[in-house]
Amino acid sequence: MEHHMNETERPGSPLPFVGCENVRELGGYRTQDGRKVKHGVFFRGPALCDIRLPEDRALFASLGIRTVLDLRSESERRNAPDPVLEGVEYISRSALRDAQGRDVDFDIEAIFAGGEQTVSEMLREVDGGYAHMPFQNSAYVELFRILSEQKVPVYFHCSAGKDRTGIGAALILLALGVDRETVIQDYLVTNTCRPKSRHQVEQLLKRFFSPERAKELAAVTAGVQRQSMERALGTIAQKYPRFEDYLAAECGVNADTLQRIRTLYLE
């Protein structure tokens, strides 16, 4: 399989898409036992509707993706559907639901138009989402089923490839034995590879807020915060002192399956 990241490059570097930001792979990260995550297996990013340019479509096709897991809500998928890709199995599982089990939708423009109150509510909802996204979540059960059944290479995504996708990437890396700090650093890479998106969000925000506040909010809404991932990992650790117990209880990954996954995807 063709790889698009030189193995001497820093793991987690964005792939060279022209019109689509924040497409990355998990290959190259070292595990705590000295092995390395295989290249060309796990790809994370934004919605595929962002891959429009011919050169970007060709690059995506060259990855050999077998399965696409869409972590967005039903309305997000309906408003910006992924294209049909020949030979690719498409699976949709919303990764963010409210306390009543309903999909959480983010109409960004409507939220911004509501001023400080609605923006604050959105930020609280996203932050709170990190505390419960890892639990009773069929999207991440599905992600590990894809791994276990070797339906790879897999591309998993939400809208921006940062929050719901970030949790999915973290769970994979932790399951493979990558250390906690490396997992957090991979999550934070989003902040350096979405400059166009951040600018667009900032311009939108300027319609509703002062330039200073717009810039501040753009950094938060278009990027990610270390405290968010720490909150997710902290809640997992509080409930399950051993990550293996979390995987078994919440992701359907028992000890034998975990060993098999590590054998398949580490080198």
Q: Using CA atoms, how far apart are residues 65 and 94, in angstroms rounded to an integer?
A: 20
pLDDT of 42-66, one tens digit each? 999 999 998 999 999 999 999 999 9
Token pair for 121: 């509510």
- For the residues 156-179, what does the mean pLDDT come to? 97
Please determine, for residue 3, whether its predicted confidence score (pLDDT) is greater than 70.
no
Q: Report the CATH number that the domain containing residue 176 is assigned in CATH.
A: 3.90.190.10
Residue 253 structural domain: 24-97+135-191+243-265
What is the per-residue burial (b if ≥16 Cβ within 10 Å, else e) of 22-61? bbbbbbbbebeeebbbbbbbbbbbbbbebbeeeebbebbe
Asked if the structure places residue 5 within a domain, the reply is: no
Total domain count, the chain = 1
pTM of the model: 0.91
Asked if the structure places residue 158 within a domain, the reply is: yes
pLDDT score of 99:
64
pLDDT band at 129 (very low <50, low <70, confident <90, very high): confident
pLDDT band at 100 (very low <50, low <70, confident <90, very high): low
pLDDT score of 105:
63
- For the residues 175-196, what does the mean pLDDT come to? 96
Please determine, for residue 107, whether its predicted confidence score (pLDDT) is greater than 70.
no
